[in-house]
């Protein structure tokens, strides 16, 4: 049984190599293959710029939503809960469609595809960021607040200089996760026509009829992008920890 | 004229009454040592003085200001009162120097250079100026607690509260912290110290306070209360901690 499980994909792979694969569409040694590859890779610009813009916004919004969640006042906590529960419940794809097609009808504000994508991704992610920040801030011992109070630091300074620097160190792995998640979710913005990686691949598939090869390259594009991000996050984590020692 | 005046202070944690009508006056320059079994309310009492805990009934007046939720009054009182904690509560992501400078910089508005000079002055006073650029976790427990004392001193408070400052320390570290505290007492600092270090109490306390079950059971000069405890509970407590 086990052997069969390993054998099946190997056989499938080998049969794929037997000549049915049309790697010529993305063969960098031919001029058309090279053009196709460049076309696909050019989508990385929007994937990266949109994801990074969205994560920067969602981190700020997430923090601003997390803070009332830690308040002693019930109404403030209610605001936090309501925001998180509602935003978290909307599927990202639905949110993208709603922001791009629904929002203009509701408010008269028309966003271009890029900003519609950024807004939808950031909004969706902010609910998760809020929970990450809340958990991180709650993990800081009460003694840190008391020490800050005992030297008269106000709330803002306590957060800014004492609590958040420690909390952010603790949530760095989770923030890295969210960045990876964001890069992947950005592929959904292809449905409203933004020329990012997935959209480019889709367009190429339509003209070349080689979905297997083109989508395989697409998978590799995301893989490379995310491995680079992961390495970056790890490097940053090590640096932050080193500065503490 | 007393700098701290507590009148009939009561404090509840849910149904549990941690302080029962406690009244205590502390004069400027006085050293008061509070002892008592765990759960007797001694920590709660001093934590009420800078409002880390809010009391429900009674009144606390610090240097003429009535303690309330009014932020301005609270700020005034916290500016007068420093606190040293059992677990030190140093800021682990900041160096020793940064731990000391943050209050003077952000609260008192000192310049970087002024704050630094002040921090070094107090680090010298607690005898660890050479550790200024280290992080708290690189120091021993005794050194950490001395940094915490220096951090409080940097705010130049008139009153220092100590909440079991040596309870989390290894025995060999206790002496160095008590030495710094004794030196502070000699310099005339008003101090309220929750501790079980009876030798320290005998040496520096003007008054001993014994608490049990949220009440002040016995109060007096250390010589008097140690040698002739009036209540049986205190007599028993002394016997227990001296024989442990």
The three-state DSSP-derived secondary structure of B125-183 is: HCCCHHHCCCCHHHCCHHHHHHHHHHHHHCCCCCEEEEECCCCCCCHHHHHHHHHHHHH
Confidence of residue A18 (pLDDT cuts 50, 70, 90): very low
CB A244 to CB B92 under 8 A?
A: yes
Cβ–Cβ pairs < 8 A, chains A and B: 66
Q: Describe the crossing of helices A164-185 and A113-138 by its angle, rounded to 10 degrees.
A: 140
Q: Which of A144, A151, A166 sits opposite B103 (nearest CB)?
A: A151
Nearest-5° angle of CA A229, CA A234, CA A238?
A: 150
* Sequence-ordered list of residues with C-beta below 8 angstroms from that of B135, at least 6 positions apart, any chain: A244, A245, B92, B93, B94, B95, B96
Tokens of A163: 């609590």
Phi first, then psi, for residue B24 (nearest 5°) are: -155, 130
Return the sign of the alpha-carbon dihedral for residues A205, A208, A212, A218.
Answer: negative
Of the residues A143, A151, A165, the best mutation for testing chain B's interface (the one with the most B CB atoms within 10 Å of its CB) is A151
Q: CB–CB of B15/B47 below 8 Å?
A: no
Helices (H), A16-43: 31-41
β-strand partners of B67: none
What is the structure's pLDDT at B67?
Answer: 93
Q: Give me the pLDDT at residue B101, please.
A: 96
Inter-CA distances, A92 with A46, B23, B183, B227, Å? 18, 61, 64, 75
Instruction: Tell me if B102 and A244 make a contact (CB, 8 A cut-off).
Output: no
How far apart CA B130 and CA B80 sit, in angstroms, is: 28
pLDDT, mean of residues A107-132:
94
CA distances from residue B123 to B90, B130, B147 in whole angstroms, order as listed: 14, 8, 7
Mean pLDDT of all residues belonging to chain A? 90
Min mean pLDDT across A6-15, A68-77, A129-138 is at A6-15
What are residue B83's phi and psi, to 5 degrees? -140, 140
- ipTM of the complex as predicted: 0.92
Best of A139, A152, A159, A244 to disrupt the B interface (most B CBs within 10 Å) is A152
Whether A144 and B89 lie within 8 Å, measured CB to CB: yes
A147: nearest CA partner in chain B: B89
pLDDT digits (tens, 9 = 90+) for B43-64: 999 999 999 999 999 999 999 9
B83/A143 Cβ within 8 A: no
User: Rounded CA gap, A114 and A45, in Å?
Assistant: 12
Q: φ and ψ at A28, to 5 degrees?
A: -70, -15
pLDDT given at position A14 = 54
Whole-angstrom distance, CA of residue B145 vs CA of residue B165: 7
- φ/ψ (deg, to 5) at A72: -80, -25
- Collapsing DSSP states into helix, strand and coil, what is residue A22? coil
Q: Is the pLDDT of residue B125 over 70?
A: yes
Of the candidates A143, A157, A165, the beta carbon closest to that of B89 is on: A143
Does B102 sit within 8 Å of A151, measured CB to CB?
A: yes
Report the Cα B83 to chain-centroid distance in Å: 5
Instruction: Determine the average pLDDT of the residues in B12-27.
Output: 93
CA–CA gap between residue A163 and residue B63 (Å, rounded)? 31
Chain B residue with Cα closest to A170: B93
How many angstroms separate the CA of residue B89 from the nearest CA in chain A? 6
Give the nearest chain B residue to A144 (CA atoms).
B89
Closest to B32 (Cα-Cα) out of B206, B189, B216, B232: B206
Question: What is the rounded distance in angstroms from the CA atom of residue B99 to the CA atom of residue B112?
Answer: 13
Residues from chain B that touch A143, judged by Cβ atoms under 8 A, are: 85, 87, 89
Summarize pLDDT for B188-235 with one digit per residue, the tens: 999 999 999 989 999 999 999 999 999 999 999 998 888 888 888 888
pLDDT, position A245: 47
Q: What is the dihedral of CA A98, A101, A107, A108, to 10 degrees?
A: 170
The confidence band for A5, taking pLDDT boundaries of 50, 70 and 90, is low
**pLDDT exceeds 80 at position A6:** no
Per residue in A72-81, is it b (16+ CB within 10 Å) or e — as a string? eeeeeeeebe
Mean per-residue pLDDT for B155-163? 95
End-to-end CA distance of chain B: 39
Q: Residue A44: what pLDDT?
A: 93
Of B50, B87, B106, the CB nearest to A161: B106
In this prediction, residue A10 has a pLDDT band, given cuts at 50, 70 and 90, of low
- Is the Cβ pair B78, A149 closer than 8 Å? yes
Q: B191 CA to chain A: closest CA distance, Å?
A: 15
Average pLDDT over residues A98-119: 91
| A141 to chain B: closest CA residue | B89
Token look-up 């509701």 returns: A106
Nearest to B55 by CA among B92, B9, B22, B5: B9
Average pLDDT over residues B158-179: 93
In our burial notation (b when 16+ CB lie closer than 10 A, e otherwise), range B71-98 reads eeebebbbbbbbbbbbbbbbbbbbbbbb
Q: From chain A, pick out residues whose CB is under 8 angstroms from the CB of B152.
A: 150-151
Please state, rounded to an integer, the average pLDDT across all residues of chain B: 93
What pLDDT shows up at residue A19?
54
Q: Could you tell me which residues are beta bridge partners of residue B16? A: B13
Q: What DSSP state is assigned to residue A101?
A: I
What is the total residue count of chain A?
Answer: 245
């Amino acid at each position: 049984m086990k052997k069969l499980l390993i054998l099946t994909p190997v056989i499938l792979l080998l049969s794929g190599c037997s000549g049915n694969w049309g790697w010529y569409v993305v063969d960098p040694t031919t001029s058309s293959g090279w053009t196709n590859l460049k076309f696909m890779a050019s989508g990385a610009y929007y994937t990266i710029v949109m994801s990074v813009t969205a994560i920067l916004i969602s981190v700020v919004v997430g923090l601003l939503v997390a803070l009332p969640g830690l308040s002693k006042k019930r109404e403030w906590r209610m605001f936090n809960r309501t925001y998180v529960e509602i935003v978290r419940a909307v599927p990202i794809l639905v949110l993208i469609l709603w922001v791009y097609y629904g929002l203009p009808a509701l408010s008269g504000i028309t966003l271009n595809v890029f900003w519609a994508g950024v807004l939808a991704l950031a909004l969706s992610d902010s609910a998760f960021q809020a929970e990450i920040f809340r958990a991180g801030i709650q993990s800081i011992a009460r003694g840190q607040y008391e020490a800050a109070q005992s030297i008269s630091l106000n709330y803002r300074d306590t957060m800014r200089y004492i609590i958040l620097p420690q909390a952010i160190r603790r949530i760095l792995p989770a923030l890295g996760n969210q960045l990876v998640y964001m890069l992947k979710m950005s592929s959904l913005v292809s449905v409203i026509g933004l020329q990012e990686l997935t959209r480019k691949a889709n367009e190429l598939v339509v003209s070349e009829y080689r979905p297997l090869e083109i989508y395989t390259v697409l998978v590799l594009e995301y893989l490379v992008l995310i491995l680079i991000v992961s390495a970056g996050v790890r490097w940053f984590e090590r640096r932050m920890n080193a500065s503490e020692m | 004229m007393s700098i701290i005046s507590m009148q009939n202070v009561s404090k509840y944690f849910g149904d549990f009454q941690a302080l029962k009508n406690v009244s205590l006056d502390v004069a400027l320059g006085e050293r008061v040592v509070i002892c008592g079994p765990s759960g007797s309310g001694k920590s709660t009492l001093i934590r009420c003085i800078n409002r880390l805990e809010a009391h429900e009934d009674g009144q606390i007046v610090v240097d003429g200001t009535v303690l309330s939720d009014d932020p301005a009054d609270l700020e005034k009182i916290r500016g007068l009162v420093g606190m040293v904690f059992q677990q030190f509560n140093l800021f682990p992501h900041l160096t020793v120097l940064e731990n000391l400078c943050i209050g003077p910089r952000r609260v008192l508005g000192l310049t970087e250079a002024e704050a630094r000079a002040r921090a070094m002055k107090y680090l010298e006073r607690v005898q660890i100026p050479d550790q200024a650029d280290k992080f708290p976790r690189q120091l021993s427990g005794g050194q950490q607690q001395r940094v915490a004392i220096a951090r409080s001193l940097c705010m130049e408070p008139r009153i220092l509260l100590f909440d079991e400052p040596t309870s989390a320390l290894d025995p060999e570290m206790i002496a160095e912290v008590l030495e710094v505290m004794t030196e502070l007492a000699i310099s005339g600092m008003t101090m309220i110290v929750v501790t079980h270090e009876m030798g320290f109490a005998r040496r520096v306390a003007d008054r001993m306070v014994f608490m049990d079950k949220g009440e002040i059971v016995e109060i007096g000069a250390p010589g008097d209360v140690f040698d002739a405890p009036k209540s049986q509970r205190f007599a028993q407590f002394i016997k227990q901690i001296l024989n442990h």
